[in-house]
A and B are shown apart, each in its own frame.
Chain A
Amino acid sequence: MFRLFSILVVAIFSNPLSWTITKAYAAKNKIILTGSSTVAPLVSEIAKRFEIQHPGIRVDVQSGGSSRGIADAKQGLSDIGMISRELKNEEKELFAFTIAKDGICIIVHKNNPVSTLTDPQIIDIYTGKISNWKQVGGKDAPITVVSKAEGRSTLELFLNHFKLKTTEIKSQVIIGDNPQGIKTVAGNPNSIGYVSIGSAEYDFENGVPIKLLPVSGIIANRKNVKNGSFPLSRPLNLVTKIKPTGLIKEFINFSSSKDVNDIIKEQYFVPVAE
């Protein structure tokens, strides 16, 4: 479905005659967004609400990775690109607008006596060099390492921060989404995992027996993700080639307003708007 559609889009845009027509049409009542698969589900939900508030407007959201988001925005194939990182230096000519932040935290079972782990310790646990809690000051029990499936943005963020490769990770359990990860850790007193901060904090507050460990000495909570002090976090950005005007400006303003905070929280991201 998605592939067919992207072929269609490419076909339309590669035809110079129809290009101008589509472009003019697009500028009027259709917004096209492409990019990061982390941001796309969030923006899809925001777009649905935007469409309800603006009858007759269509917002088209396609995923394809942050690099596609940048490339499409640069070439004018999309109106807005979506990226799950900061702009790199060579991309500074683009305009970026942060709509939310994403942070991940290390979680262990509530009854685990270990309350802090240093970055090298976490790396050693995840590469299998440390395999017993005793080695990091806990009780004598083997560590169950919980990691994420390939392609997940949380895995990517985790690997980037700790400078690891997927093949180096030696885990005992691989999970898909955040709730599954939290249930796995809550059900196994000797496990360690990493999940989205939003979802971990929510479950922790609701009595799920997990503990959020600080990273590099900084407490894992939404506040620290928001103010940027928490190291395992990144911004979710919308980028445009030119300074946004008209409908596009309206959409970006809407996406970074507090009107969508509930959607952002639902997807376990951290809102930035007050």
Chain B
Amino acid sequence: MILLKNNTLFLWPSDRILVWVLRFCAVIAAMIVFLILLFLLNESIPVLKHVGMSRFFFDSTWSPTEGLYNLLPMLWGTLFAMVGSVLIATPLGIISALFCHFYAPKPIAHIYRQIIQLLAGIPSVVYGFWGLVVLIPLIGQIQPPGPSLLAGILILTIMILPTLALSADASLANVPSSYLKGSAALGLSRWATIRGVVLPAAKSGLFTGVILEIGRAIGETMAILMVCGNVVQTPKNIFEPMRTLTANIALEMAYALGDHRSALFVSGLILMLVITGLVICAEILSRKIIYD
């Protein structure tokens, strides 16, 4: 058989099959995003048609059973909680990765890494429960009522910290050892090496870590639902309760009907648009920061 063939290299077109399988998989992965978007649009259209988009931003409050659909306070809530937690978690996460990589003795670094990994694996509802029974009473003593934006920020910080610490750790490990040797040969101190060589080299990896962290902060639902108080209002200070878009969906979806249900899909749609916007911003920023 083999002798009869002209080209023995392509007896079985395994490469072509593989390519098509890979293409198919890639299309599926890409399609999921579009299907979700389509589904959200399809479910939101009934309410968008007879209520209109503007009322989701200019109504007096969110009270769908009375026909009021303002989502703006919850959008602010989502953004405040996200920005607050990212601002705290980012330096902490990067510093912890630096400690783990350059300062900690090997055995301690090993144990430390395991602990961070464990922290990343704890289900969010456990964090939420801890927040409910420990954190909220503590905050309540400082400034009642207790469930507040601050509680949300703190819980989110604890939750996204391991994500960032682990990805920062991985990107520090990816810095070529020749760089480190070079800087050692120049006689640079450890801190000078980190500041002048490691951080610039690991910049894109760290940036990806921050994006992942933002994504998790925006998407988190259960823990936030348990500690934030869920009152629909734009928080004026960090001790006031507030509700995020994700918590809004989780709280009300189970019993929502008709327009109310549709309006919840609009919150999902807005959430999706916010994340898309952030990803685009991140992309533009990263081009500027990293490649210029």
Contacts and interface: CB of A to CB of B under 8 A. Distances in A.
A183 B128 CA distance: 12
Interface string B126-163: 00000011001100100011110000000000000000
B252 A151 contact: yes
Contact of A173 (B63, B66, B137, B231): B231
A144 interface: yes
The contact size tier of chain A is 20 to 34
Given A166-B65, A187-B137, A188-B140, A173 B257 contact: no
Given A174-B243, A176-B251, 15 more contacts: A141-B144, A144-B145, A151-B252, A151-B254, A151-B257, A153-B255, A166-B63, A166-B66, A167-B63, A167-B66, A173-B241, A174-B229, A183-B132, A183-B133, A188-B140
A161 to B, nearest CB: 16
A175 interface: yes
A167 B255 contact: no
Contacts of A151: 64-65, 252, 254-257, 260
A174 B251 contact: yes
Contacts of A174: 229-232, 241, 243, 251
Interface in B239-278: 241, 243, 250-252, 254-257, 260
Contacts of A187: 132-133, 136-137, 146
In the complex, which of the residues A64, A65, A174, A188 has the most CB atoms of chain B within 10 Å of its own CB atom?
A174
B230 A149 contact: yes
Contacts of B133: 183, 187
A54 interface: no
Interface in A155-209: 165-167, 171-176, 180, 183-184, 187-188, 190-191
28 contacts: A142-B144, A144-B140, A149-B230, A150-B256, A150-B260, A151-B256, A151-B260, A166-B63, A166-B66, A167-B61, A167-B68, A171-B231, A172-B145, A172-B147, A172-B229, A172-B231, A173-B229, A173-B230, A174-B229, A174-B241, A174-B251, A183-B132, A183-B133, A187-B133, A187-B137, A188-B136, A188-B140, A190-B144
Nearest to B140: A188
B252 A184 contact: no
Given A150-B65, A151-B257, A173-B229, A188 B145 contact: yes
Contact of B251 (A64, A149, A165, A183): A149
Interface of B: 61, 63-66, 68, 132-133, 136-137, 140, 144-147, 225-226, 229-232, 241, 243, 250-252, 254-257, 260
In the complex, which of the residues A149, A152, A172, A188 has the most CB atoms of chain B within 10 Å of its own CB atom?
A149
A151 B62 CA distance: 12
Closest CB pairs A-B (n = 4): A151-B255, A174-B230, A149-B251, A144-B145
A65 B144 contact: no
Given A150-B64, A166-B63, A37 B260 contact: no
A146 to B, nearest CB: 9
B225 A176 contact: yes
Nearest to B68: A167
A143 to B, nearest CB: 9
Nearest to B241: A172
A190 B143 CA distance: 12
Contacts of B146: 144, 187-188
B230 A175 contact: yes
B271 to A, nearest CB: 18
Interface string A10-38: 00000000000000000000000000010
A70 B232 CA distance: 33
A36 to B, nearest CB: 10
A64 B257 contact: yes
A151 B254 CA distance: 8
A37 B256 CA distance: 9
